[in-house]
Structure 1
Amino acid sequence: MVTELPSSLESRIADYYTGFRGVGPTRRTRYLNFGYWAPGCDDLDDACEKLTDMLADAAGMREGDRVVDAGFGYADQDLHWLETRRPELIVGLNITPSQVEIARERVRERNLADRLDLRVGSATDMPLAAGTFDRVVALESAFHFDTRQDFFREAFRVLRPGGGLAVADVIPLGGRREERIRDLNAVWGGFVPPDNLYDRDTYAERLREVGFADISVQDISGNVYRPLLDHLRRHLGERGDLQMSEDVLAWGMAQYMTHTEYAIASARKPVGPE
């Protein structure tokens, strides 16, 4: 039987990410994602940045856009998008105050506060006016949201007609839901609401229920899990906070590869009735 998570889920996640420094040895950035290991990606920084570019492409991000970034970590992707996509404004929401403060300092150092507005706030209750943004994105954070469906509703609300949503997300494979919840919680430590544990087809249906159109949920696992595992094995122990045995590392990644797929989801808010 699935047990309900306590109402303090967001605070527990915030506490966890206060000390979290990522899945592996990044050198030039503070990205926290698994990365997309395209040909030519020689390190985790390159792979994380490639995933960031893919997410922006999926959202249709372009110059002059107003963007919401839900769960922005240390804002590496936002700084990258300001340089490469040139949106007018990015508003970031993050429930971990320590990450927000560090990210704000990075913004101040670059004199970008007029274009990058980083806030402590929830993706499921956005303090933003309806119909005022062109893109909403979530980079490897939406599986934590309590719930992801509430995030979809909020994204739909704040988007302008014709606006785009894009999510880089970890989702369970189809079938045997109860077993997958048990096994995934062994990896995720109960930081993912059971209501978020549904497969790719259900993911698309949840977006459709909210009102989105032009929905795509694409599995990119082949360029995420195995190459990340290979990279971490090569660099095991290279950085002080990567103190884990190869057996533990292999076990954790095996759970992801056995029970989940890594997906890029995209959708559009219709301009009119469809």
Structure 2
Amino acid sequence: MNNQHQWPVDFGQEFHDLQDVVLNLNCQTLELDGSWGNLGYWVDEHGECIHQYSAAAARLADTLGHATQLKPNHHILDVGFGCGDQIIHWQHQFGVKNIWGINYSQIQTQYAQQKLAILNGKAQLCRGDATQAKAWQGLPNTFDRIIALDCVYHFSNKTNFFSLCADHLHHQKDQGDSSELVLTDLILTKPVQNPVLLVLLKMVCYFSHIPFSNLKIRQDYEAQLKQVNLSLLEYEDLSAQVMRPFSHWVFQFRQNVKNLKNIDDKQRVLKNIGWSKYIGTALFLRWAARHNIFQYVLMRIGKDNA
């Protein structure tokens, strides 16, 4: 499958650009194993640790797919699809044939559209802001599943996003299969009251393009959902499988890249990528885990019957 993972000609200048592609480099083969861009789930189905980034990233996508019980006949909206790897994964792993996507990054969307040509029109992708109704125009009226994999903490207005999701979810259908929103997000473990901690957290959020208002405790998060007639169906803490393992891997991968030899001109970009984005994320997650500031959680969300 390596031949479908191409080095970008242009990595772009957006915050969500194509630099994440280099994280998928296999340092033994010097080939790309994908173009994933999530934090990964670093334990396999047998409970063994995963050491390759693309495998961990696929495992996180797989975890959401199983949690929401994806089926071949489902109509799916993937919000924040990045470079499109999860769409290919869900199509292959679960047989899902009807997938639409909205993604904020223009260069990622272009890359994904080229990559997903192998699905022969089974995925319809567009560039847009999923917190704005304009991005949803032309989409089906309802979806069986709306999936937001490792992205909603970046959204400029999550209440708007949840409201738009509620408008596109239906109640019971096909023998009780109600549609749902499934996502991963960061949830504060408790209100941040320490002024020094608060300043540090706001600074990290600013540099990570995470609106600070997006960080809420679970009670406030559920109240936000309630405002738009949504309710929490399942809440699973994935912190131990995501936060520290990703942080550890980033530093190991950076060292592996430094040690690479005999790389060609195209791969030479590895020596010059902006490591600050990834090192900063790794340090942030390590710090947050050590101080128990927030959890990385998987949530299934449904439409209220009221």
Moved more, 194-203 or 182-191: 182-191
1:188-227 aligned at under 5 Å gives the runs 188=205, 189=207, 191-227=209-245
CA distance in 2, matches of 1:26, 1:76: 14
Q: Structure 1 residue 146 and structure 2 residue 156: aligned? A: yes
Aligned to 2:122: 115
Deviation at 1:251, TM superposition (A): 3.2
Deviation at 1:134, TM superposition (A): 0.6
CA distance in 2, matches of 1:178, 1:75: 40
Larger-Rg structure = 2
1:184-241 C-alpha deviation (Å, 9 max, x unpaired):
3432316222331212222222223321245222221011111222222332233323
Aligned to 2:92: 83
Aligned to 1:254: 286
Whether the aligned pair in 1 keeps the contact of 2:186 and 2:296 (CA below 8 Å) is: yes
Deviation at 1:131, TM superposition (A): 3.9
State the SS of the aligned residue for 2:153. helix
CA distance in 2, matches of 1:107, 1:243: 28
Moved more, 234-243 or 201-210: 234-243
Distance verdict in 2 for CA 1:37–1:113, change over 3 Å: same
CA distance in 2, matches of 1:101, 1:79: 15
Moved more, 15-24 or 134-143: 15-24
CA distance in 2, matches of 1:190, 1:48: 19
1:60-99 aligned at under 5 Å gives the runs 60-99=69-108
Aligned to 1:183: 200
Q: Structure 1 residue 132 and structure 2 residue 142: aligned? A: yes
State the SS of the aligned residue for 1:224. helix
Aligned to 2:111: 102
State the SS of the aligned residue for 1:165. strand
Moved more, 82-91 or 233-242: 233-242
Aligned to 2:39: 34
Aligned to 2:20: 21
- The alignment yields a C-alpha RMSD, in angstroms, of 2.7
The code of the aligned residue for 2:300 comes to S
Moved more, 72-81 or 141-150: 141-150
The code of the aligned residue for 2:256 comes to E
Q: Structure 1 residue 158 and structure 2 residue 168: aligned? A: yes
Deviation at 1:107, TM superposition (A): 1.1
The answer for unaligned runs of 5 or more in structure 2 is: 1-12, 27-32, 172-177, 258-269
Count of residue pairs the alignment pairs up: 257
TM-score, normalization: structure 1?
0.83
Higher relative contact order structure (alpha carbons within 8 Å, sequence separation ≥ 6): 1
Distance verdict in 2 for CA 1:216–1:183, change over 3 Å: farther
1:21-69 C-alpha deviation (Å, 9 max, x unpaired):
2694554011111111113323111111111011112333211111111
CA distance in 1, matches of 2:275, 2:233: 40
Distance verdict in 2 for CA 1:118–1:129, change over 3 Å: closer
Q: Once the two structures are aligned, what percentage of the paired residues are identical?
A: 23
The code of the aligned residue for 2:253 comes to H
CA distance in 1, matches of 2:193, 2:90: 37
Moved more, 231-240 or 90-99: 231-240
Whether the aligned pair in 1 keeps the contact of 2:68 and 2:182 (CA below 8 Å) is: yes
State the SS of the aligned residue for 1:146. coil
CA distance in 2, matches of 1:247, 1:76: 23
CA distance in 2, matches of 1:260, 1:63: 35
CA distance in 1, matches of 2:203, 2:64: 28
